[in-house]
Amino acid sequence: MHVRPDDEFACPSQLDEIEADLAAIWGYFEIPATERPSIEWYRFRDDADWAAKPSGLCADDAAGCVHGGTLYAPLDTFEHELVHAALSRVGSPPQLFVEGPAVGLTCSPREGRLATVSSDGWAALLDTGTNQY
Ligand SMILES: [Zn+2]
């Protein structure tokens, strides 16, 4: 976990909670050890810190994103991105099966904002895109 030196809400004991969450996710999906990536989290302190992230790191409208086992997110989208990172070696299923577990197993990326089907409709959800955010 990479944290800002002035992030007063970050503490080492969170690593134990994250390890427990990962074990629960991998256990739930019966992911073999060979497909369990090592996870690295670049924790953004707050919305302002996230807004100042380097361009191109994630999609412009993303509230967090994952590249393999490495996730970039502030705290409130962390759980969602953790599911993506945990399942990042399982393959590239259609978006419905990428976003479905991340939304279904955690609170919506932002409290009070349910994930919505894009204007492209269901076809986009069945597309095997590569973006995970
Ligand atoms: Zn997602």
Q: How confident is the model at residue 109 (pLDDT cuts 50, 70, 90)?
A: low
Distance 11 CA to ligand 1 centre (A): 25
Distance 8 CA to ligand 1 centre (A): 26
The DSSP output letter for 54 is P
Lowest average pLDDT, out of 4-8, 45-49, 68-72, 109-113, goes to 109-113
Tens digit of pLDDT for each residue in 52-72?
999 889 988 888 999 989 999
Distance 77 CA to ligand 1 centre (A): 9
Distance 12 CA to ligand 1 centre (A): 25
Average pLDDT over all residues of the chain:
85
102-107 mean pLDDT: 85
What does the alpha-carbon distance between residue 110 and residue 3 come to, in Å, rounded to a whole number? 20
Measuring CA to CA, which residue among 81, 90, 73 is closest to residue 37?
Answer: 90
Tens digit of pLDDT for each residue in 16-30?
999 999 999 999 999
Tokens of 43: 């924790």
Distance 99 CA to ligand 1 centre (A): 5
Ion ligand 1: residues, CB within 5 A, are 99, 102
Measuring CA to CA, which residue among 45, 32, 31 is closest to residue 1?
Answer: 45
What does the alpha-carbon distance between residue 68 and residue 119 come to, in Å, rounded to a whole number? 27
Helix orientation angle between 14-28 and 75-86, rounded to the nearest 10 degrees: 40
Distance 4 CA to ligand 1 centre (A): 24
The model's pTM: 0.83
Q: How many other C-beta atoms are found inside a 10 Å radius of the C-beta of residue 115?
A: 14
